[in-house]
């Protein structure tokens, strides 16, 4: 098992470095085209930091590990929302743009509702995510991209002038090396996480919700913490909200298109937690200082996550 643990850690190294290179290359490319920070956060950075989840889930889906697929996405979204925003908001209160309050946060809430409805087979279909469900989620993802495109066209915010000296060869080199690192890391993590779960006698659900979810969310954590330290709230909040939307609409759609995903109702509680956290974030915009996630609100998010994770692990080990 020690070898499997080492290989999982090595996989995360490949995964995080790969995501870092991809984000760097993609952000340089965007800045060369004078794209605003909020749009970069909602799309390019969000996609780059969600790439680990995409690779891990594609591998897990192909190998028919549905609990890892679901646990990784739900766990990553909860980690992003509760843990990362909690930490970032404690470092520096996060100012949030009106469009994020009234549009992006509600979109992330709707995404979780759609996931809940499709996975449980409410109204249409059977329990689980079929390839038809995957096409529905993918269609919603493209609608989200269209919304961001329209937002960019109508946004009066002018992108800050940034001189990018890196050549196109260097920029694309970052992106390609990032993709290679992501693929290697994703394969190492899934295969060895399954081995660890088997050796420890714990479920793949718990492994997905905790170790894999936290590991694949490290790029979001690093990106948002750095953005907070630089007092760039648009990148910090855009990265988290954008990643959560990407995870459900894009990554779950790709995962279910690779192979239909079996769904267990035990995941519903984790989805309810995600919905509650997203609603709390929305309401936080109207309590205390308007359109700002304050330190006490961030502390609440952090404590909820720690408490719930402790409960999950304790229940599993009983």
* 233-291 pLDDT tens trace: 776 787 788 889 989 999 999 999 999 999 999 999 999 999 999 999 999 888 878 88
Phi, psi torsion values for 95, nearest 5 degrees: -80, 135
Q: Which residue did the predictor score with more confidence, 226 or 116? A: 116
**Domain limits of the chain?**
2-317
Q: Give CATH for domain 2-317.
A: 1.20.1420.30
* pLDDT tens-digit series, residues 28-45: 777 776 666 666 656 666
Query: What tokens were used for 276?
Result: 């509650």
Helices 268-284, 105-120: axis angle to 10 degrees equals: 160
Expressed in percent and rounded to 5, the helix, strand and coil fractions of the chain are 80, 0, 15
Which tokens belong to 221?
A: 């954590």
**pLDDT at site 42:** 61
Distances in Å between the Cα of 23 and the Cα atoms of 43, 46, 127 are 11, 9, 36
pLDDT at 49: 67
Q: What are 231's two structure tokens?
A: 């007092």
Q: What is the DSSP string of 257-316?
A: HHS-B---GGGHHHHHHHHHHHHHHHHHTTSSSTTEE-HHHHHHHHHHHHHHHHHHHHHH
- The residue with tokens 């894999």 is 212
Question: pLDDT tens, 214-226?
Answer: 877 777 777 777 7
Inter-CA distances, 257 with 108, 132, 166, 260, 309, Å:
21, 8, 37, 6, 30
The mean pLDDT of 48-60, rounded to a whole number, is 81
Predicted confidence (pLDDT) at residue 211 exceeds the cutoff of 90: no
**Around Cβ 160, how many Cβ atoms within 10 Å?**
10
The DSSP H or E segment spanning 95 is strand 94-95
Q: Residue 308 corresponds to which tokens in the numbers above?
A: 């719930």
Residues above pLDDT 90, as percent of the chain:
33
- pLDDT, one tens digit per residue, over 260-276 is 999 999 999 999 999 99
What is the rounded CA–CA span in Å between residue 26 and residue 40? 9
- Greater model confidence, 208 or 20: 208
User: In the chain, pLDDT over 70 holds for what percent of residues?
Assistant: 90
Residue 230: count of CB within 10 angstroms of its CB? 11
């Amino acid at each position: 098992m020690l070898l499997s643990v080492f290989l999982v850690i090595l996989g995360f190294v490949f995964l995080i470095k790969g995501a870092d290179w991809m984000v760097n290359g993609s952000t340089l490319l965007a800045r060369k085209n004078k794209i605003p920070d909020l749009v970069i956060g909602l799309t390019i950075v969000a996609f780059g930091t969600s790439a680990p989840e995409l690779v891990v889930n594609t591998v897990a889906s192909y190998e028919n590990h549905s609990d890892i697929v679901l646990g990784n996405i739900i766990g990553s979204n909860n980690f992003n929302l509760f843990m990362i925003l909690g930490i970032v908001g404690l470092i520096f209160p996060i100012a949030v743009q009106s469009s994020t309050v009234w549009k992006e946060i509600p979109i992330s809430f709707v995404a979780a509702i759609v996931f809940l409805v499709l996975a449980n087979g409410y109204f249409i279909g059977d329990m689980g995510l079929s390839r038809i469900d995957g096409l529905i989620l993918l269609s919603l993802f493209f609608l989200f991209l269209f919304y961001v495109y329209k937002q960019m066209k109508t946004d009066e915010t002018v992108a800050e002038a940034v001189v990018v000296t890196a050549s196109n060869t260097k920029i694309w080199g970052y992106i390609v090396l990032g993709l290679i690192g992501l693929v290697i890391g994703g394969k190492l993590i899934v295969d060895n996480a399954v081995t660890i779960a088997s050796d420890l006698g714990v479920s793949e659900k718990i492994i997905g919700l905790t170790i894999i979810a936290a590991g694949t969310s490290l790029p979001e954590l690093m990106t948002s913490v750095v953005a907070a330290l630089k007092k760039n709230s648009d990148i910090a909040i855009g990265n988290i909200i954008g990643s959560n939307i990407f995870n459900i609409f894009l990554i779950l759609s790709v995962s279910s298109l690779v192979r239909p995903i079996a769904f267990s109702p035990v995941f519903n509680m984790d989805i309810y937690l995600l919905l509650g956290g997203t609603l709390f974030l929305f309401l936080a915009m109207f309590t205390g200082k308007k359109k700002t996630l304050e330190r006490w609100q961030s502390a609440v998010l952090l404590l909820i996550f720690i408490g719930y994770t402790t409960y999950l692990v304790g229940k599993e080990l009983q």
